[in-house]
C-alpha cells in the first residue's frame, strides 16, 4: 500500500475526480473525509470507500463558506487525530447564490464584454478562495507533524482555453499561483504542494452544460471531445485519481510547486494527416 494509515480530506469528493480519489485512497490504506455539498452522493462515496477496508466519512461542507471549511478540518481532527493529505477537487460553475450570501447573480453570456461582478466574485470564491482557506485550516496540523501533501485541481483551460471563460480560467490560474507560494512557504516543514491540470475528463462537471442532451448525444459529444486529444480519448476520473495518488505518496517526495498537465497529450496539436 502507498498510503498506509494516512488521513486525507477530499473536498469535492462526492462525485467525479474526488470520488475516484477516495476509492483509490481506500485501496492504498488511507482513511478519508469526503467534504461536499452533495450529501446523498457524498455518503454513498464514503460508504463505498469504507468497504475497501479503511474508514471514510462524509462531512457536509460548502467550500464557499469559511465556517464550514473550519468545521470540516475540526471534524477530521476530532475523528482521526490528524490530517496528512488535502485534495482540492471542489469547483465548477456556481449557482445563483453562494452560501450565507444575499447577493444574487446570473451567469452571463460568454465574453469579456459581458463580465459581471457578482458572477466573477462567485466564481473566484468557489474555485480559488475556498481552496486557500482549506489550506489555511490544515497547514498548522501538517506543520506540527512535519509532514503533509496538498494537491489542488486547476485546469488545462488556464493555458489552452476551449472556450471564453475569463472568470473560471482566471480562478484556476490562481490555483497555480497559490500552489507556488504554498510550496515555497511550507517546504521547510516537509509539506509538498502541487497542482494537477486536467484536460477533458468525463465527469459530472459537464452535466449542467449537457442538461438538454440525451444520453446518446452526451456520449457522442464526449467521443467528439476525445478526438481533439492526441491520445484519441477523453480522460476518466481514474486518470486523475492515479495522478493524485502519485502526488500524495512518497513516490513524489522530491516534487513540490509543480503543475502537471494530465490531458492525453493536450495542448500538443493533433496532426490528422499523421494519424
The residues carrying an active-site annotation are 168
Residue 25 near residue 2, CB atoms below 8 Å:
no
Tell me which DSSP letter residue 17 carries: H
Burial class (CB in 10 A: 0-12, 13-18, 19+), 70: middle
| CB crowding 184-203: b at 16 or more within 10 Å, else e | eebeeeebbbbbbbbbbbbb
Q: How far apart are the first and last CA of the chain?
A: 39
Dihedral pair phi/psi, residue 273, rounded to 5°: -70, -15
Torsion angle of alpha carbons 105, 215, 241, 9, nearest 10°?
A: 40
Dihedral pair phi/psi, residue 18, rounded to 5°: -65, -40
Beta bridge pairs of residue 56: 32
Q: Please, what sign has the CA dihedral across residues 16, 204, 131, 133?
A: negative
Query: Taking the CA of residue 139 as centre, how many other CA atoms within 13 Å lie in the half-sphere pointing to its CB?
Result: 16
Amino acid at each position: 500500500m502507498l498510503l498506509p494509515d494516512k488521513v486525507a480530506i477530499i473536498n469535492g469528493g462526492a462525485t467525479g475526480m474526488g470520488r475516484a480519489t477516495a476509492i483509490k485512497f481506500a485501496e492504498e490504506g488511507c482513511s478519508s473525509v469526503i467534504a461536499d455539498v452533495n450529501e446523498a452522493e457524498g455518503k454513498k462515496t464514503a460508504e463505498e470507500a469504507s468497504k475497501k477496508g479503511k474508514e471514510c466519512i462524509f462531512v457536509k461542507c460548502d467550500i464557499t463558506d469559511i465556517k464550514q471549511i473550519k468545521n470540516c478540518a475540526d471534524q477530521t481532527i476530532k475523528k482521526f487525530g490528524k490530517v496528512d493529505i488535502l485534495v482540492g477537487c471542489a469547483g465548477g460553475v456556481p449557482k445563483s447564490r453562494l452560501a450565507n450570501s444575499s447577493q444574487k447573480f446570473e451567469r452571463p453570456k460568454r465574453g469579456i464584454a459581458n463580465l459581471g461582478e457578482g458572477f466573477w466574485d462567485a466564481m473566484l470564491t468557489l474555485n480559488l478562495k475556498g481552496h486557500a482557506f482549506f489550506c489555511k485550516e490544515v497547514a498548522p496540523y501538517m506543520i506540527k507533524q512535519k509532514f503533509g501533501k496538498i494537491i489542488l485541481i486547476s485546469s488545462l483551460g488556464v493555458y489552452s482555453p476551449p472556450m471564453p471563460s475569463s472568470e473560471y480560467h482566471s480562478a484556476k490560474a490562481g490555483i497555480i499561483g497559490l500552489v507556488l507560494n504554498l510550496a515555497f512557504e511550507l517546504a521547510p516543514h516537509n509539506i509538498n504542494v502541487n497542482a494537477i491540470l486536467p484536460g477533458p475528463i468525463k465527469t459530472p462537471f459537464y452535466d449542467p452544460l449537457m442538461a438538454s442532451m440525451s444520453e446518446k448525444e452526451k456520449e457522442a459529444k464526449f467521443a467528439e471531445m476525445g478526438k481533439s486529444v492526441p491520445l484519441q480519448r477523453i480522460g476518466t476520473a481514474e486518470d486523475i485519481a492515479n495522478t493524485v495518488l502519485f502526488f500524495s505518496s512518497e513516490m513524489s517526495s522530491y516534487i513540490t510547486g509543480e503543475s502537471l498537465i494530465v490531458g492525453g497529450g493536450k495542448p500538443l496539436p493533433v496532426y490528422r494527416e499523421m494519424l
